[in-house]
Structure 1
């Protein structure tokens, strides 16, 4: 299998031979434009995951709209890190889910910081609380909103999974936007039902297969199984980048359609597309 350098060398030689045999003599400007288009197509093909995938994981790509609604209502947004934590008493599966929730927390925290919405992070583990505080601080630093940092807070509800369920039965404050990401087991139904009450936007994510019905019944965006671990790779930092990805996908589709149509025309003898473009044949 040839290396990327060999493929690039062969492509450069092919383009050079094509331009050399063509009766159309391009100047330096058009030639550079043609080579630039080819290099852009190579970049799009070389990074298929980050360039081609535009899935909206649990509606998290549109979290900016949820924060705008929260800002209009004058309430806060809540992010729950589940009931596992990262302490030694936590099993490896639950600990991994808590760690996977931190990048998603950062994504929500950046949107909240831009919209001026206070963020309330719920956790039942002191180490996870410290990590969540660092994530929120980094979000305010990246958005240049240090003056809003003091409005967000990390709530340590107490150790154990039952404390999350107890909070659901006793708390009165209802958030405008709610996100539950992490390990949720027997407390899932109560916890999600409390978050859903009054929330205009909600998303839940957990890799606990036994709690999939609870997540589905909660409504809103849902990530189940391996999806919470994959979601952060599909999130886009801003709308412009997502628009560029979608535009690139359409350009690739258009190029593929032209190749198919040209092949059909060449096979039927209607048009020698390669010769027409190179200027060596008849159209």
Structure 2
């Protein structure tokens, strides 16, 4: 399968699954994994002062795409800036610091920091090297981690963050749209057609709720895998869990671009969705009823 065809099928597959999650008429190209391998290596810069700081691992993992902004000057991406002043202080950073790279990985997208933390946590890193542009001067901040980065990530995902440190992030605002989705049990939900229409009108908000990548088995496409599901997302409300592999929707398998297109076209007027998934190696079926 060529690279272009692969990304094309991911995009169409996402459109189909997005319809499952009440998003219609959206094709989002997800470039994960291989995109990391093909992105340009960071340019070498002259690193000025070196700052050694001991930080809580649980504070590091609080840096998510929701609390950073991409810094662009003269049409060129310079890096990321943390929007939360208290979190910035806890990490030993100064107001206005622009984060340009973490342990050799460039930070140019709002999700790059999260990805870099994920990769370093899998290597049991105890020190992180943060390149910062501080008032126009390149600076290296060497974070000595207090705590295990991987366990800290699980702490955030498991909503037990406060037991690790003093910083408490601002809780997400109530979402009236999520309140229209009624969870009956762990495999059944109901949602009105108007919710489907509202989600269809703003697909990018939905896309931030989880990450979707193609699942492969024995070298062949085997559906779509979900991970990094946010607890306050539509994905979570619809009973999906981290690690779920979505194989089929209403009997239509998600194994190719053509199959994904069939699913997408067939789901425009249905009143119930039946989703076949595998969760922790066990087959499972989820049901979504769409009411008028």
TM range (shorter): under 0.3
Q: Which has the larger radius of gyration?
A: 1
TM-score calculated relative to the size of structure 1: 0.19
TM-score by structure 2 length?
Answer: 0.19
